[in-house]
Amino acid sequence: MSTEVSCKFREKVDLTYEQFFQMRFGAMPFLAKELERVLGREKAFETIRKASEEYTCAAARKRSVKDFEEFKAFVKQTHRSPFCSHSMTVTYPGETRDRIMFNVTECLWAKTFRDMNAADLGYVICCQPDFASAKAQNPRIGLKRMKTLMQGDDCCDHIYYWEE
């Protein structure tokens, strides 16, 4: 079999962000239900959490940061990207030398999983890995978060901080 990729595989698809998310995550609840059937709910969700964290941390380690200023710049740049700006709404209530706070008030990840009645799964796949991802970028980066849209709150309140 040839290792070259067919040109047709590189053509763009005309989808909304919402359609893309539905396609990307639509099978997840079915997979989770089958894992629950085989392993039980607790073991299934622990397995999904571990896999999600490993995936997220592998990507985070590729962009490790040397200091907190670099991390804050990365966060802001990411939120301004076309993908993020079309899939979430972010406000910045405050920033200091060793903290960056932002709230997500609209989130397509949360909307997608909540629409599938799978917010608990969405939290494990999309939200919970944020804590491990912060440490993977630099062990001195921590995260506090008390609320998430995925869990029905009015926003996701992120506070990333630099541990001295």
What is the residue-wise DSSP string for 47-102? HHHHHHHHHHHHHHHHT--SSHHHHHHHHHHHHHSHHHHHHEEEEEEEEETTEEEE
% residues pLDDT > 90 (the chain): 90
Helical pair 17-25 and 108-115, crossing angle rounded to 10 deg: 50
Does the pTM surpass 0.85? The reply is: yes
Structure tokens given for 11: 């053509």
Domains in the chain with CATH codes? 17-162 (3.30.1380.20)
Segment 58-91, tens digit of pLDDT: 999 988 899 999 999 999 999 999 999 999 999 9
pLDDT of 2 strictly over 70: no
pLDDT of residue 6: 82
When pLDDT is averaged across residues 17-41 and rounded to a whole number, the result is 96
